[in-house]
A and B are shown apart, each in its own frame.
Chain A
């Protein structure tokens, strides 16, 4: 399966005599030496390897180009690794041919070699086979455009462990190059093995592809090398004509009949005692005979179960049956076929601090598996607490420093349409739209829980679109904006950044210190995010990703998300600044000055992002900064204004605005940092979702890029404030640089912006950004597609537009035509941030009132330490909470 190579541009010596060596598994072939040439041609015969398909999947094809030297040992000029997995798909081409870069781990790319690889596959159909040839892997978190999802099976995960060659005894006596190559080969091998194993699981589920495949390498150092992956198993069907995958029928009533929900049973399966008008409305759609006899509860552990409206309960029961066999009803996808997503609950996340120990038996990586299983279980129960049975937009990550490792997982709790989850029964059902009587633009915003039974204090409002269901005032998710969502204006990238100093420590002490820091960091990141969201005049975050990075002497947190204004959600209130010491004239003046600046910024942002929601909503909420009476107070986690307990009663009353209290320099800085975030220059937009909400006329000019920056902090007098400022500047400058560099692409949007923070050394901070800059046509920006046929044409013509078809985007004229009556002002309100926090935050706050700062940081330990020295801490941040 091997071809005639020729190479060019090897620059090791003026005229090397090159000879490639081809290796697969343990078999090696060599070509003749081509003497003294920079452009050798070997045109060798085919090198033939006969191997098991298991090896075919695991092993890479290795080509080493040697400089054949008569005097010394043959030196390698460089190597080429070719993953032959893509040749194993049944419908794919069986030949790879072309120029591959010859890479040396020390010198980089040293030339190119032309290789032809051919595979003749005799697939092993044995039931007990260990190979999984032909399963496709897609990293994209949406169904690739040229495919149709027949069934979305669900979560697949696998983990492979090995010793890290860099920590083997032999590493002391071999060259760095040999060490690098050993590692490279191992990584390639482990990755192959991992994918083969994942593939087996997919085949077991009767799928043929993994979408949203996320593969990570944890370099645990002494304790080994862990390769782990998660993904969503799917059965994909190739689309012959991409334009035809659109649903042709949009009549909800018709599809209603096809839906299993249209044959429901009576309602005594649900222990529904709640009878809110909203739920009656839902119930009335599904009154007849509920035959689902699943009296058991969806979430038995939670007291709030069973009190939901019949519709919701029914949905749960339906999906429950589809999901209950599953250990983890998780989906790594962030974009879904229409109708798949019914409700979105909010973000669920869990973190756990672990102490790494040597993996004794690499074939049975039990500890690592157990760690992740624990976290996933945690996530699952959080989702249940939010009244959801599934988690979408799920992802996992780690941060390792010495022997401490933070495992994180996050996702969005959601209620899914059961039809999509049932194997084979409804072949092709993904093409149909769910028969929902709700306007499609707002359905997913509706809360899966109801007002009385919210698992946390929350303020719900009537949906601004349909006026029937309840929606949260702010929605946080890790998924992309659903295609059918109604958005006002454009979205933007919102980041919260935070650093905390940490004392250098060893093992358990270190783990404890980190565990103690984490809740405060999460809280502050959340606060920052919410403040920035308010400042932008928006009410929802998509693609939320919170990254925590541990270093020797600091912990960094970076939260990125794309803010949008969802038409269904109530208008956000403003931000109110409150001074600590009223009466002081100059201070008051300063506060009012700040207030003015903030108000100006909000107004400016609204203009910038074209946020002009319909008047109806405006009326409801009133001015962005309401009367002082209605304010609630937002407390920063470390703010120790204990004497104001009365005002800290956060869960009562109607509040419209966030209140930022500037009672110390810290808070002052926070307010300042809010204002220092510079908006992108005119003509630029940015978001961290795959596509920018609110833009639908992309051109074909695309620039994908990576940018890396490392800064060295001056170690003198390093305080949290200085650290925060440095980190903030680093990120802001990086963004500014990107805008500057790409200015020739204006009008342009940076999509899929992904920041990765690492702390390679004591005083070094490294930030890596990857993103795709896509230009769009400004002139067409105001054209909105009015009919579905037009949309379908557009979708067929452009790959990128799928997510941009918002019925209401940009066209403010169309919005006032909503047939909704104005609602009284009191019914829509903005609860303060505090209301949205889970129980743990409440706890912290209570403490914050009574404990002085300083003592607080060390006094909290949320959970008792686990056996074997691993500290554990789980946090839930709930979007609308």
Chain B
């Protein structure tokens, strides 16, 4: 006796969250059945293995049919074939677009191209995430990227509108899109200690302050060839950052800056002497990072540079986080007292974001 056909169609489409998770995780039906058996469901419900097999198969088939709709979540809302209550629809979408931390760290900042897709095998082996799941996550990134890449307006809003994701997840995707678009290097060994959350935090700050959309200059002529508002960094701003070089190039200015910071921090931070010795190096590092951002390649290395030029020196001197905060605040604020420095607004726009990023990046 072999089963030829086994289907269940309900008025409301039944969705078992556990099976959905297994499907998303890329398990085959037999693996999923084995995992379900191990979860003790047979004992709880008194079902047999055959029942479980049939149920799992049926769910997989449903998910497979739903997948097409999940690629364009608004379609899931409007289709008439599967009746799914709104709360369930939201859950399906949210779970489908949820990604693994380990996976996203591997592809963050990489070009979402076929080339990268070919590397998914390696990523799968490295992270222990099934290839199927890797593909889904990669395709999600790519799909969201393609849709919002050319779009005007707030990146997060665009993602939310087209993919109906929760605020949190939409923000994460905004970061992924932003990183992929600017191709920030995140895979270097010295960056391995950073989590996706760290990068996402930085991305959000950068989107808020360093992109064209941040300035609020909505182009009046929609046909004008302006850069995308939230996805690309403000080119003009990056050009202007060269002007900051004077802070380290002008020796007087640098000394004055140092003395202002030292006076203010004396007795307030525990690593005062280390700070004093390293001030010029640190300042040079931070200003040079800014000055280099005109080149695309240096933009990509932004995080490598920040870690190399600032995080690592401080860490080797065992600066406590609080001291770093006090230093950065003082370092950024003191510039206002430098009379010879004319680019206060530019400095503010640069350092405001950078301080936030550096504090987030500063951990073990």
Contact = CB atoms under 8 A, between A and B. Distances in A.
Interface in A753-768: 764, 766
Nearest to A108: B81
B2 A712 contact: yes
A655 B312 CA distance: 96
Provide the main secondary structure of the chain B interface: mixed
Given A713-B1, A733-B51, 9 more contacts: A706-B9, A708-B7, A712-B1, A714-B2, A737-B51, A738-B8, A740-B47, A741-B55, A766-B5
B80 interface: yes
B76 to A, nearest CB: 12
B55 to A, nearest CB: 6
Given A681-B46, A736-B47, A707 B1 contact: no
A708 B6 CA distance: 6
Nearest to B47: A740
B45 A681 contact: yes
Interface stretch (B10-18, B22-30, B345-353): B10-18
A710 B1 contact: no
B162 to A, nearest CB: 16
B48 interface: yes
Q: Which of B12, B51, B55, B79 has the most CB of A within 10 A?
A: B51
Interface string A667-706: 0000000000000010000000000000000000011111
A707 B8 contact: yes
Interface string B50-62: 1110110010000
Q: Which of B1, B2, B50 has the most CB of A within 10 A?
A: B1
Q: For the complex of A and B, list the 4 residue pairs with the smallest distance between their C-beta atoms, beginning with the closest.
A: A710-B5, A705-B10, A710-B4, A704-B11
B213 to A, nearest CB: 29
Contact of A709 (B6, B11, B45, B48): B6
B192 interface: no
Contacts of A396: none
13 contacts: A9-B75, A703-B10, A706-B8, A706-B9, A709-B5, A712-B3, A713-B1, A714-B2, A729-B1, A737-B51, A740-B51, A764-B4, A766-B5
Given A711-B3, A713-B1, A741-B14, A736 B48 contact: yes
Q: Which of A729, A743, A766 has the most CB of B within 10 A?
A: A743
Contacts of A742: 14
B321 to A, nearest CB: 47
Contact of B80 (A101, A702, A741): A101
A401 interface: no
A398 interface: no
Nearest to B41: A740
A30 B50 CA distance: 52
A663 to B, nearest CB: 28
Nearest to A8: B78
Interface string B310-339: 000000000000000000000000000000
Interface residues of B, number: 28
A99 interface: yes
A553 to B, nearest CB: 16
B54 A737 contact: yes
Interface of A: 8-9, 99, 101, 109, 112, 681, 702-714, 726, 729-730, 733, 736-744, 764, 766
Contact of B81 (A109, A729, A738, A740): A109
Contact of B5 (A101, A708, A714, A726): A708
B1 A741 contact: no
A168 to B, nearest CB: 29
Contact of A705 (B9, B45, B75, B80): B9
B343 to A, nearest CB: 51
Contacts of B45: 681, 740, 743
Contacts of A704: 10-11
Contacts of A739: 47
Interface of B: 1-12, 14, 45-48, 50-52, 54-55, 58, 75, 78-81
A245 to B, nearest CB: 28
A285 B250 CA distance: 123
B3 A709 contact: yes
A99 B80 contact: yes
Nearest to B9: A706
B4 A740 contact: no
B61 to A, nearest CB: 13
Nearest to B59: A741
Nearest to B4: A710
Contacts of A707: 7-9
Contacts of B7: 707-709
A714 B10 contact: no
Contacts of A109: 81
A713 B78 CA distance: 42
Given A733-B51, A737-B8, A740-B51, A112 B80 contact: yes
B12 A703 contact: yes
Q: Which of A709, A729, A742, A766 has the most CB of B within 10 A?
A: A709
A743 B8 CA distance: 14
B8 A711 contact: no
A47 B78 CA distance: 27
Contacts of B6: 708-710
B206 to A, nearest CB: 36
A740 B11 CA distance: 17
Contacts of A702: 11
Contacts of A764: 4
B14 A712 contact: no
Nearest to B5: A710
Contacts of A708: 5-7
A737 B52 CA distance: 8
B138 to A, nearest CB: 23
B1 A711 contact: yes
Contact of A726 (B1, B48, B58, B78): B1
B14 to A, nearest CB: 6
A703 B80 contact: no
B8 A733 contact: no
Nearest to A714: B1
Nearest to B53: A737
A636 B11 CA distance: 42
B2 A711 contact: yes
A710 B12 CA distance: 23
A730 B9 CA distance: 18
Contacts of A9: 75, 79
Nearest to B50: A733
Nearest to A680: B46
Contacts of A730: 1
Nearest to B54: A737
B19 to A, nearest CB: 11
A702 B12 CA distance: 9
Contacts of B2: 711-712, 714
Contacts of A744: 14
B43 to A, nearest CB: 12
B1 to A, nearest CB: 5
Contacts of B46: 681
A9 B8 CA distance: 25
Given A733-B50, A740-B55, A705 B11 contact: yes
A865 to B, nearest CB: 36
Contacts of A741: 8, 14, 55, 58
A707 B3 CA distance: 14
A442 to B, nearest CB: 38
A704 B9 CA distance: 9
A795 B1 CA distance: 47
Contact of B51 (A705, A714, A736): A736
Contacts of B55: 737, 740-741
Contacts of B50: 733
A726 B52 CA distance: 19
Contacts of B81: 101, 109
A540 to B, nearest CB: 29
A104 to B, nearest CB: 14
A744 B7 CA distance: 19
A741 B58 CA distance: 10
A19 B128 CA distance: 51
